[in-house]
Amino acid sequence: MYAEASGDDILLKVTISGPPGSGTSTLVSRIAESRGWSSLNGGDVFREEARARGLSVEQLSSDAKEDLDVDRSLDALLQKRMSSPDSPEIVESRLSGWWAHLNNLSCLRVWVNVSEGERARRIQKREGGDLDDCLLKSQKRQRDDMERYSTLYGIDLDDMSPYNLVIDADEKDELAVFQAVENELGR
């Protein structure tokens, strides 16, 4: 259903979004491997821009907190890549589903939803540290991101209306989440 393309059609087939710790990177890897599709992570755009500016990722991140135009320019770059004929088939970023929706890109838009506690547990498993600290950092990042996206674009991260598929992944392992997306993509 979302896998047809020819000529100058945009290659984008699916966007994957979700909060940190929701398993989006793992999901993208599985889809790319299963289908032989290319992917782009919004974080890659951020890292490329840092290199282009001669900055470290940390320096660009600090600049972005002080100057909202940094986010605007990075988001514009991501939207341009998503809308181009040489777009990867999969784009992963917090706002990629919103960008596809707002730019009328015909693709599957997936949000992977995970509770705060489960996100903290997954982040702790991936990065180590104290579970309570992971929870507090995750909550702070979510609040900061929600405020920034609201200020920049009027986007409410709790609004799931742009997404064709919202997966509650608290009780699902990575294979079950992948299978839900595969079922929606069809063959």
Q: Which residue has the tokens 């004929």?
A: 85
> Number of structural domains, the chain?
1
**151 lies in a domain?**
no
**50 lies in a domain?**
yes
Q: What is the CATH number of the domain that holds 46?
A: 3.40.50.300
**63 lies in a domain?**
yes
**84 lies in a domain?**
yes
Query: Per-residue confidence of the chain (187 residues) as pLDDT tens digits?
Result: 444 444 456 689 999 999 888 899 999 999 999 999 999 998 788 788 889 989 887 788 778 778 888 889 889 989 999 999 999 999 999 999 999 999 999 999 999 999 999 988 888 888 888 888 888 888 887 888 888 899 999 999 999 999 999 999 999 999 999 999 999 998 6
**113 lies in a domain?**
yes
Q: What percent of the chain has pLDDT over 90?
A: 55
pTM summary value: 0.85
**148 lies in a domain?**
no
**35 lies in a domain?**
yes
| Domain span including residue 50 | 14-117+160-182
Q: 15 phi and psi, to 5 degrees?
A: -110, 145
HSE of 13, CA atoms in CB hemisphere, 13 A: 23
**149 lies in a domain?**
no
Q: Is 134 exposed, middle or buried (0-12, 13-18, 19+ CB in 10 A)?
A: buried
Q: 16 phi and psi, to 5 degrees?
A: -125, 125
